[in-house]
Amino acid sequence: MQYLGKFFVFLCLTISISACNVPTIQETNRTQTTFFDLKGFFKEEAKYLKAQGVQIQKTIQHNQTKETQTILPKDWEKELLLFSDSDLNKPSWKDKYLLDSTDRGNGLTLLHYKAIDEKLSVQVLDVELKGTAVHSILIVKKIANQIYESQEHLTYIPRKSYHIKKSQEVTSFDKDDYTIEAKYIYHE
């Protein structure tokens, strides 16, 4: 249970988001970017969520242990760090992803970035747009070596909720599974 508490504190400092005037692509700082600007997007989200005083109801499950808490993040940029750190706009990655854009109908467009190199931590970034506003984000991360293997699925619904599913295995240890479900609470 102590491990779950430490993990909860770590994740409380690393994630979150909510619903209303969702920033559009044009509103984020897109200078010098090749791919969708996750860092800029989440920076704008952090500003909005802080200004609104949004709280988060988080349910964290580690293997079979489950805990729910309501928190008011002190630093939204740290809260959203797990998402913003998945930004593809690193100089060494500029030719490491393929982009497929798909019209899904009803004004929805999917930007699907897939890693060419399986050694990259971010394997997939899906950004679904409704017009120019972000409708949802999916990030699939994978790290694997001889000692450690980790997979993460991060789903973000702007200004409403997020979901994180993480599975990790360390050689000679049991597999650990984590799930975080977060819902945003607005006060009127």
**102-152 pLDDT, tens digit each:** 999 999 999 999 999 999 999 999 999 999 999 999 999 998 888 889 999
pLDDT for residue 144: 87
pLDDT for residue 14: 37
- Region for 65 from its dihedrals, namely left if φ exceeds 0, alpha if ψ lies in -120 to 50, beta otherwise: beta
Gyration radius from the chain CA atoms: 17
pLDDT band at 22 (very low <50, low <70, confident <90, very high): very low
Res. 96: pLDDT tops 70: yes
Please give the C-alpha separations between residue 126 and each of 52, 69, 73, 94, in angstroms, as whole numbers.
27, 29, 26, 17
Contacts of 115 (CB under 8 A, 6+ apart): 96, 97, 122, 123, 124
Tell how strand 176-185 and strand 161-170 pair up: antiparallel
| Domains: count for the chain | 1
pLDDT for residue 10: 39
Q: Please say whether the beta carbons of 88 and 141 come within 8 A.
A: no
pLDDT for residue 17: 31
**Given the structure tokens 């949004």, which residue do they identify?**
54
Handedness of CA 69, 70, 75, 80 (dihedral sign): positive
Q: Which residues pair with 112 in a beta bridge?
A: 100, 126
Q: Residue 150 belongs to what domain range?
A: 2-185
- Residues 124, 132: Cα–Cα separation, whole Å: 21
Average pLDDT, the chain: 85
Res. 163: pLDDT tops 80: yes
Q: Please say whether the beta carbons of 140 and 162 come within 8 A.
A: no
Q: What is the SS3 assignment for 104?
A: strand
Report pTM.
0.80
pLDDT for residue 171: 82
pLDDT for residue 20: 37
DSSP conformational letter for 54: -
pLDDT for residue 172: 80
Res. 179: pLDDT tops 80: yes
Give tens-digit pLDDT for 56-89: 999 999 998 999 999 999 999 999 999 999 999 9
**Element of type H or E holding 77:** helix 76-79
Q: Which amino acid is at 13?
A: L
> What are 99's two structure tokens?
């982009």
